[in-house]
Amino acid sequence: MTHLDGKTAVITGGGTGIGLAIAKRLAADGANCVLMGRNLERLEKEAAKIERATAIQCDVSDPASVETAFASAKENGPVMVLVNNAGIASSAPFHRLSEEEFLRIQNVNVTGVFRCTKAVTNDMREADHGRVINISSIAGLGGGPYISHYCASKHAVIGMTRALAAEWARTQTTVNAICPGYVRTEMAESAIRTIIEKTGATREQAIAELAKSNPQGRLLEVEEVAEIAGWLCHPDSRSINGQAIALNGGQSM
């Protein structure tokens, strides 16, 4: 028996990268993992490799899609773990940043978190062991050039995390955020390609540029983020609430 046996865990953006690594980690602790994302084919392919995992298509930017997806996820019982991992990023100097692009990022990274958390609110308020884990970023703890819209979204996620943790403090559910630096994912690959295209740097130079923000001089691995998520789901972590946990190798914010 493990502490997540029989409990339903929903992971948005669960088909790749951090989300997929977290799904594997929670499944190892006994959870029935529901992988959500826009690409159903990819979700089904990955879910087939994980014991007790299922795939449900969900676009967190679409209220109707979220409602349908979470109704399906709850067919076999309430959701006891929610990992809000789905997110997008782009870069632009502020003077060229359109309102449309600003709102596109907020709709996924902030309102998407709101929609998904709202969908499990009743489950979490009544849970005997509930966990909401929001994947934010070190961009939610500080600032950086060309990502004002992304920083705004990740700061908002941390604010929502802290507020909801305070509101639900007398329940058995905790709400926390994980704030990684650059992780070796598709999102990092996109940033690497952008650096190469705009500066003419080699791939190795582009990776080194991203890694500079980490005093350890490296990109994080998805398993490192997944391990923190697994720890937050353990009963012994119940006093950890409303936190924004930085994974950045010691970077000063």
- Report the pLDDT value the prediction gives residue 132, as an integer from 0 to 100: 98
Average pLDDT over residues 103-116: 98
Average pLDDT over residues 60-85: 97
* Nearest C-alpha neighbor of 224 from the set 76, 13, 40, 25: 25
pLDDT digits (tens, 9 = 90+) for 20-62: 999 999 999 999 999 999 999 999 999 999 999 999 999 999 9
- Report the pLDDT value the prediction gives residue 142, as an integer from 0 to 100: 94
Average pLDDT over residues 195-214: 88
Q: Is the pLDDT of residue 74 over 90?
A: yes
Q: Is the pLDDT of residue 217 over 90?
A: no
Sorting pLDDT into bands at 50, 70 and 90, what band is 211?
Answer: confident
Sorting pLDDT into bands at 50, 70 and 90, what band is 189?
Answer: confident
- Report the pLDDT value the prediction gives residue 186, as an integer from 0 to 100: 84
Q: Is the pLDDT of residue 198 over 80?
A: yes
Residues 110 and 151: beta-carbon distance below 8 Å: no
Would you call 163 helix, strand, or coil by DSSP? helix
DSSP string computed for 175-216:
EEEEEESSBSSHHHHHHHHHHHHHH---HHHHHHHHHTTSTT
Q: Residue 150 catalytic? A: yes
Average pLDDT over residues 117-144: 96
DSSP string computed for 99-147:
HHHHHHHHIIIIIHHHHHHHHTHHHHHH-SSEEEEEE--GGGTS--TT-
Q: Is the pLDDT of residue 209 over 90?
A: no
Q: Is the pLDDT of residue 1 over 80?
A: no
Q: Is the pLDDT of residue 250 over 90?
A: no
54 - beta bridge partners?
34
Residue from 102, 150, 168, 182 carrying the catalytic annotation: 150
CATH fold of 8-181+221-241 reads Rossmann fold (3.40.50)
Average pLDDT over residues 185-205: 88
Q: Is the pLDDT of residue 174 over 70?
A: yes
* 68, amino acid identity: T
Sorting pLDDT into bands at 50, 70 and 90, what band is 253?
Answer: low
What residue ranges do the domains of the chain occupy? 8-181+221-241, 182-219
- Report the pLDDT value the prediction gives residue 32, as an integer from 0 to 100: 98
- Report the pLDDT value the prediction gives residue 76, as an integer from 0 to 100: 87
Rounded Cα distance, 177 and 247, in Å: 11
Rounded Cα distance, 206 and 195, in Å: 6
Q: Is the pLDDT of residue 108 over 90?
A: yes
Q: Report the chain's mean pLDDT, rounded to a whole number.
A: 95
- Report the pLDDT value the prediction gives residue 73, as an integer from 0 to 100: 98
In the chain, % of residues over pLDDT 70 = 99
